[in-house]
DNA sequence: TATGAATGAGGCTTCATTCAT
DNA sequence: GATGAATGAAGCCTCATTCAT
């Protein structure tokens, strides 16, 4: 009996995953707005109605994808930031860790730049990715500025916004260079730019 | 007779402008995806059918808005780049000019980050803004690298992409700082970051 | 120009009427809940989307039908109630006038007994028919009670509710007797029952 | 062994009752049309699929509720009508008994006025309540007319229909008076109205 | 050229019903 | 017998687009 329930739950969990994957893929191919629920469920090999057993809207799927990514990134950063080191080193490390975590979910990030367009509650989605790493970055920068490791003539939130922008747009890059390497180079420039003289 | 024709042409031009303005405003308020042609035309105070006398789709309106912005930016840059100066100085000047031109059309830029989402031909729109100033930036950077004014260990297209990303995301910024000032600070960091050592 | 507009408006008015008639007929045949908008518009010989150029929901159609009926009844009663006469005579006259007005729109009345079921705002529809004649009846009864023409041991609103109930249920009657005659007989009983002794 | 079977039967009976009660409650709160089977079963604390072990449709549930009410009313009337008395007295007694029986199941009656709307077989449900007491009333009236106790210038079926209408609409009454008292007053008027002169 | 009513394709969502466990 | 996930039919509604005036 307990096993039966567990079996069913496992299946339900699997179906949920199937839908999430199908959605991510469809979003990547057609974009969020051009993806229909019917399309997602067809890609998932499930009936249309089944979608509503798991999610109440396309937005909720996006939110879920965002949450998953956010958690992965957070975990990855957390691990990296335990080691003790200088602020520039730490910032670079975190940036690269984040890049690596994002790279595994490349299809998802680009959505958040644009998702705010399609929702009645843009703020929810648009910034749902940030918490957990944007704040972390800002903390590191602040600490670096206090320690005199980073220039102080530019506010930390501007710098943090700049890092954020790098991730957002690099995900769209058409250049013939890997995502992580692209990020690495840009972070290199940024670090050089904010180093205290 | 000639005057009548000219009058008619002027009137036609006016209607077109009215639609463009209404569209820009609606896009800004509701987002591209959530703006309907009926909505645009209502805002324009014109009949729905009239839209199709001037444009064939919402995308075309967006493209037109982009083209207008692009031309303004290009003109602005062109004027700035005539003066002879060092590459960093020139780059900074061009960046600020661009910022100023964009600031006048703030409502339009944010659309291009997202517009690719909504179209069947994303590439057309998504990058429609760049030509005319992205290339210019790259040229300046290349020249600077050749002259030894900019570091050469990062490809010019990466740097140019980074500048591009600054414009795209700063347009969305929620920070309490003006668009132009925000851009200025970021460009400062970037310039410091790419200066040859 | 003015004529053209007028022509269009006339056509628009006609289409509205066509929809209202088709809806009334469909409601009568299949009931409100079992009538789909597609069904109405097919009966009207118009496209589905056209419905929304005129109404925003099935409920609004019902409300409109109710309003029309209400206005007819009110007009009919108003005309009748101008003549001066005893309260029982006046009440009877008004009842019969109402019956006649309703009879012309037989298909509509039955809906209001049931419509409250189907709406999120039941009170709106359920009682939308009453104003204009339920109150009138109550006024006549009250006056009759004051004058000693009607018994006073039963509250006027109970009597008025009883009249109301006669209309509502007689519209459903399966008896082989005309609607108006049926009403006439019931009103006869009621009048006999409320006459002061 | 026999006990086990009996236990099972009792359990089955219980589930059936649970569903009926939940359904009645849901019907009352949301209306018949707006009540889904899922909703009923959730209110019943049972799985959706279980519904079909007991009923084949929402209509059948309604029919069952009607049958139960009908039987209660019939039993109540039967008891009352055994005593020998004049037709008006008997009719009044039966009316009040009926009112009392209905009052205990207030939630159910209102459904039958409207249920016909929602079914493909309206006749089945719409009049499913009547048999057993409408006929009885008619018999009493007929007898009274034969005995000269009731006026004969109005057909008995009209009078019986009038009684029926009182129950149907009083169940919806918004007046600040109890259901039974409301019925009592209306029956009083009716009786006064049909008394032979 | 301007208009706006008509249109139907297409997306969203609900829900009765089935069926494997 | 109980369950609840899966299903797709069917309804609702929006909106780009056309076309007669």
CATH of the domain at A107: 1.10.357.10
How would residue B7 be classed by pLDDT, with cut points 50, 70 and 90?
low
**Can you give the pLDDT at residue C169?**
84
The pLDDT value recorded for residue D130 is 53
Same domain as A183, residue A94? yes
Q: CA D116 to CA A176: how far, in whole Å? A: 69
Q: Are C161 and C170 in contact (CB under 8 A)?
A: no
Please tell me the distance from the alpha carbon of residue B118 to that of residue D128, in angstroms, as a whole number: 56
Q: Is the pLDDT of residue C20 over 90?
A: yes
Collapse the DSSP code of C195 into the 3-class scheme (helix H, G, I; strand E, B; otherwise coil) and give the result. Answer: strand
Supply the DSSP symbol for B150. Answer: B
Nearest chain D residue to C126 by CA: give it. D172
pLDDT at B21: 93
* B176 and B104 part of one domain: yes
Q: Residue D108: its pLDDT value, please?
A: 73
Q: Which A residues, 18 through 47, put their C-beta within 8 Å of a C-beta on chain B?
A: 31-34
> Which residue among B122, B151, B161 sits closest to A173, beta carbon to beta carbon?
B161
- Find and give the residue nearest to F10, measured CA to C1': C36
Residue D77 and residue D164 in one domain: yes
**D177 contact C CB<8A:** yes
For the CA of D114 and the C1' of E21, the distance in angstroms is 40
**Contact state of B32 with A155 under an 8 Å Cβ cutoff:** no
Q: Using CA atoms, how far apart are residues B143 and D12, in angstroms rounded to an integer?
A: 87
Say if residue A192's pLDDT is above 90. yes
Any CB–CB contact under 8 A between B16 and chain A?
Answer: no
Which range among A1-15, C113-127, C172-186 has the greatest average pLDDT?
C172-186
Domain of residue B76: give its range. Answer: 57-194
Dig out the tokens for B26 from the structure: 């609606």
Question: How many whole angstroms separate alpha carbon C162 and alpha carbon C168?
Answer: 10
Q: Which of residues 30-89 of B touch strand E (CB under 7 A)?
A: 46-50, 52-53
By CB neighbour count within 10 A (0-12 exposed, 13-18 middle, 19+ buried), where does D93 fall?
middle
Dump pLDDT digits (tens) for B19-52. Answer: 999 999 998 888 888 899 999 999 999 999 999 9
What CATH code is carried by the domain that includes residue C38? 1.10.10.60
Residue A172, pLDDT > 80, answer no
Residue B142 has pLDDT above 90, yes or no: yes
Give the nucleotide with minimal C1' distance to the Cα of A19.
Answer: F6
Structure-block tokens of residue A116: 């705010």
Looking at the structure, do residues C42 and C69 belong to the same domain, yes or no? no
Using an 8 Å CB-CB cutoff, list chain C residues near D166. Answer: 162, 165
Q: Which residue is nearest to nucleotide F19 (CA to C1')?
A: B49
Is residue D150 helix, strand or coil?
strand
CA atoms in the 13 A half-sphere facing the CB of D189: 29
Nearest nucleotide (C1') to the CA of residue D50? F2
Q: What is the DSSP letter of B133?
A: T
D1/E13 CA-to-C1' distance in Å: 50
Taking an 8 Å cut-off on Cβ atoms, the answer to whether C158 and D185 are in contact is: yes
Is A6 near strand F, with its CB below 7 A from some atom of it?
no
Residue C110's Cβ-count burial label (10 Å; 0-12, 13-18, 19+) is: buried
Higher pLDDT, B184 or B170: B184
In this structure, the answer to whether residues C62 and C139 fall within a common structural domain is yes
Percent of chain B exceeding pLDDT 70 equals 80
**Hey, which residues 97-116 in chain B have their CB within 8 Å of chain A?**
113-114, 116
Point out which residues pair with C1 in neighbouring strands.
Answer: none
Q: Do B46 and B106 lie in a common domain?
A: no
C61 and C15, same structural domain?
no
Q: Does D185 touch chain C (CB under 8 A)?
A: yes
Q: Which of D55, D70, D87 is the last residue of a domain?
A: D55
Residues 6+ apart with CB under 8 A from C86: C149
Distance, in Å, from the CA atom of D183 to the CA atom of D189, rounded to the nearest integer, reads 10
Could you tell me where the DSSP H helices lie in chain A? 2-30, 37-44, 58-80, 87-103, 109-115, 122-126, 134-146, 156-170, 179-194
Which ranges of chain D have pLDDT less than 70?
A: 1-8, 12, 107, 110-133
Question: CA-CA distance, A25 to A45, in Å (whole number)?
Answer: 13
Nucleotides of E under 7 A from a protein CB: 1-21
Identify the pLDDT of residue C117: 43
- Residue A112's pLDDT is 62
Q: Are residues C45 and C142 in the same domain?
A: no
Report d(CA D107, CA B79) in Å as an integer.
Answer: 81
Q: Over 90: is that where the pLDDT of A81 sits?
A: no
Coil, helix or strand for C133? Answer: coil
Prediction pTM value: 0.82
Residue with more model confidence, A31 or C100 = C100
Residues B49, B61: Cα–Cα separation, whole Å: 15
Asked whether residue D80 falls in the same domain as residue D177, the answer is: yes
The residue whose two tokens read 């009682």 is: C127
Nearest to D189 among C113, C116, C154 (CB): C154
Chain D residues with CB under 8 Å of C154 CB are 185, 188-189
Q: Note the CA–C1' distance, C38 to F10, in angstroms.
A: 11
Domain check: are A137 and A161 in the same one? Answer: yes
Spatial distance between the Cα atoms of C10 and C18, rounded to a whole number of angstroms: 12
D88: Cβ–Cβ under 8 A, 6 or more apart, which residues? D144, D149, D150, D191, D195
B160: its two tokens: 């140019």
Question: Are B185 and A158 inside 8 Å of each other by CB?
Answer: yes
d(CA C152, CA C158): 11
Regarding whether B49 and B67 lie in a shared domain, the answer is no
Structural domain count, chain C: 2
B33 closest CB neighbour out of A118, A155, A192: A118
> Do B35 and B80 share a domain, yes or no?
no
Q: What is the pLDDT of residue D71?
A: 84
Top-confidence range, A31-35, A100-104, C152-156? C152-156
């Amino acid at each position: 009996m307990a096993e039966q329930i567990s079996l069913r739950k496992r299946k339900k969990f699997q179906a949920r995953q199937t839908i999430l994957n199908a959605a991510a893929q469809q979003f990547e191919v057609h974009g969020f707005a051009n993806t229909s629920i019917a399309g997602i469920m067809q890609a998932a090999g499930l009936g249309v109605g089944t979608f509503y057993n798991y999610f109440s809207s396309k937005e909720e799927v996006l939110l879920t994808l965002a949450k998953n990514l956010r958690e992965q990134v957070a975990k990855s950063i957390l691990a990296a930031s335990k080691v003790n080191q200088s602020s520039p080193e730490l910032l670079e490390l975190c940036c690269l860790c984040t890049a690596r975590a994002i790279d595994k979910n490349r299809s998802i990030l680009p959505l958040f730049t644009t998702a705010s367009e399609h929702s009645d509650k843009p703020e929810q989605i648009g910034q749902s990715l940030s918490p957990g790493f944007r704040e972390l970055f800002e903390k590191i920068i602040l600490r670096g500025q206090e320690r005199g490791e980073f220039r102080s003539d530019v506010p930390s939130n501007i710098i943090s916004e700049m890092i954020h922008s790098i991730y957002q747009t690099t995900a769209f890059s058409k250049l013939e260079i890997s995502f992580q390497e692209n990020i690495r180079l840009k972070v290199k420039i940024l670090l050089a730019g904010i180093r205290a003289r």
